[in-house]
């Protein structure tokens, strides 16, 4: 969340940030809630000060034989005690109201984030690779998967429901190969591998910004008040929740495989076929904890690390800077990496790499300290998909398809796959 002190000291910066996002957030109402909270704190402090003074005066008055004055002060102390209790109750309500308001405010976009209303106004940063020119009519990955017998959404719909998939045979092996290749690549590049739990509590979802705003997009287990994770960002970022890190160890870099679960409540009718938009999918995530002064340089490195696996796979892609109107709730700046999909005849998002600055760290209380006499500061957190597995499999099927219906396995995956080609089944 944003720091209430920063909102108080520079409300115009926050207002401009919300306007840039095209969000109607009443910052004046937040400041009024803060004024009420501070007034209640001041009143309580004043009453406690009076109470302390009175408690010191009463023994002296009794010693001097001034019993009536002592009794009057005792009565006043009882009244003060009742008033303090009532004020404390109001203060708890005011603090909770202010916290709820702060939790609903998105992050302020970094000054380098372009203005814009939606994804049509994102800015292309670079393209890598050239989309393949086919000498035959290319097929969509869902058709390729069905003909090869490696994807089966129909049986998954029978077993579970829409937007789920069975992977079969070499399809399942391809998914597993991509996961292993990604993890091996990132760990070789200095990331520590973590295998996180796929269920998290409400505090963890709140810490990374999924709650309260996106609760409708999450799979919730009511009995335990636990959530299936929408991304490994949630458990891995919360790995250091409520901790003070050693500044000498920063940056800390983690990579994690997880299954991801999303209701996709607001995406009815979008990408309903294939692997692009599923309720359950696999992903390898990259998470960093860094010094505030280094976070934007670390964002560039993080994006480069995510690109590394696409380059090794030989998949054409581009990097775009998200405009303020398309920026995620918790992010101060995001690069999307989009892979070329022949069936769409366009680039499709396969990774988002974001700098949250201290927004998540403040919600999750993740701080660092250089030495015993140094001030404790909030870290900056970053994360990026390194990258989405299902979308990578879809991109491989489409970009490496052959005229006879088979799919060539990218060179870097052949050691994991044990084959060079996924062949058409023999009839």
Q: What does the pLDDT read at residue 60?
A: 80
Q: What is the pLDDT of residues 359-389, one digit of tens each?
A: 999 999 999 999 989 999 999 999 999 999 9
Q: Using the predicted structure, report yes or no on whether residue 308 has a pLDDT greater than 80.
A: yes
User: Looking at residues 175-197, what average pLDDT do you find?
Assistant: 98
The catalytic position among 83, 243, 264, 349 is 349
Length of the chain, please? 427
Cα separation, 55 vs 81, in Å, equals: 12
Confidence class for position 76, pLDDT limits 50, 70, 90: confident
Q: What is the pLDDT of residues 144-179, one digit of tens each?
A: 999 999 999 999 999 999 999 999 999 999 999 999
* DSSP-derived pairing of the beta strands 192-194 and 252-261: parallel
Per the annotation, the verdict on 391 as an active-site residue is yes
Q: What does the pLDDT read at residue 269?
A: 57
Cβ neighbours of residue 325 closer than 8 Å, sequence gap 6 or more? 21, 22, 115, 116, 117, 118, 121
The catalytic position among 163, 363, 367, 391 is 391
Q: What does the pLDDT read at residue 133?
A: 97
The catalytic position among 258, 352, 354, 385 is 352
Per the annotation, the verdict on 352 as an active-site residue is yes
Q: What is the pLDDT of residues 85-128, one digit of tens each?
A: 999 999 999 999 999 999 999 999 999 999 999 999 999 999 99
The catalytic position among 277, 308, 318, 414 is 277
Cα separation, 407 vs 421, in Å, equals: 6
The catalytic position among 37, 163, 262, 362 is 262
Cα separation, 51 vs 57, in Å, equals: 10
User: How many CA atoms lie within 13 Å of 322's alpha carbon, on the beta-carbon side?
Assistant: 25
Confidence class for position 279, pLDDT limits 50, 70, 90: very high
Per the annotation, the verdict on 318 as an active-site residue is no
On whether the pTM is more than 0.95, the answer is no
Percent of the chain beyond pLDDT 90? 89
Per the annotation, the verdict on 349 as an active-site residue is yes
Residue 336 in tokens: 């999307």
Per the annotation, the verdict on 277 as an active-site residue is yes
- What phi, psi does 350 have (nearest 5°)? -130, -10
Q: What does the pLDDT read at residue 63?
A: 79
Q: How many secondary structure helices (H) and strands (E) does the chain include?
A: 13, 18
């Amino acid at each position: 969340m944003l720091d209430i002190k920063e909102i108080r000291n520079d409300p115009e910066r926050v207002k401009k940030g919300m306007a840039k996002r095209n969000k109607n957030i009443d910052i004046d109402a937040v400041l009024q809630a803060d004024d009420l909270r501070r007034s209640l704190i001041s009143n309580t402090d004043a009453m406690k000060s009076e109470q302390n003074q009175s408690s010191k005066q009463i023994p002296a008055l009794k010693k001097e034989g001034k019993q009536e004055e002592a009794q009057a002060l005792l009565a006043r102390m009882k009244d003060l005690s009742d008033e303090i209790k009532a004020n404390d109750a109001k203060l708890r309500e005011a603090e909770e109201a202010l916290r709820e308001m702060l939790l609903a405010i998105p992050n302020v976009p970094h000054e380098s984030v372009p203005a814009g209303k939606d994804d049509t106004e994102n800015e292309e940063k670079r393209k890598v690779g050239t989309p393949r020119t086919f000498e035959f009519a290319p097929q969509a990955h869902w058709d390729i998967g069905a003909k090869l017998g490696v994807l089966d959404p129909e049986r998954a719909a029978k077993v579970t429901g829409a937007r789920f998939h069975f992977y079969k045979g070499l399809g399942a092996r391809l998914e597993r190969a991509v996961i292993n290749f990604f993890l091996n690549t990132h760990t070789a590049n200095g990331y520590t591998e973590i295998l996180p739990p796929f269920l998290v509590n409400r505090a963890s979802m709140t810490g990374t910004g999924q709650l309260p705003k996106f609760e409708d997009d999450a799979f919730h287990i009511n009995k335990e008040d636990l959530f299936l994770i929408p991304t490994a960002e949630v458990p891995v970022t919360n790995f250091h929740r409520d901790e003070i890190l050693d500044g000498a160890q920063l940056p800390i870099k983690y990579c994690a495989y997880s299954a991801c679960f999303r209701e996709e409540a607001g995406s009815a009718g979008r990408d309903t076929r294939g692997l692009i938009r599923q309720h359950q999918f696999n992903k390898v995530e990259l998470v960093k904890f860094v010094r505030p002064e280094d976070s934007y340089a670390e964002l560039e490195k993080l994006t480069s690390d995510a690109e590394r696996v696409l380059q090794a796979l030989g998949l054409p892609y581009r990097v775009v800077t998200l405009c303020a109107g398309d920026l995620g709730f918790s992010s101060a700046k995001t690069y999307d990496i989009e892979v070329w999909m022949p069936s769409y005849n366009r680039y499709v998002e396969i990774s988002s790499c974001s700098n949250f600055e201290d927004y998540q760290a403040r919600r999750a209380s993740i701080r660092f300290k250089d030495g015993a006499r140094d001030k404790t500061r909030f870290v900056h957190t970053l994360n990026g998909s390194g990258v989405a597995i299902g979308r990578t499999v879809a991109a491989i099927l489409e970009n490496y398809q052959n005229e006879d219906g088979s799919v060539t396995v990218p060179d870097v995956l052949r050691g994991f796959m044990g084959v060079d080609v996924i062949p058409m089944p023999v009839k």
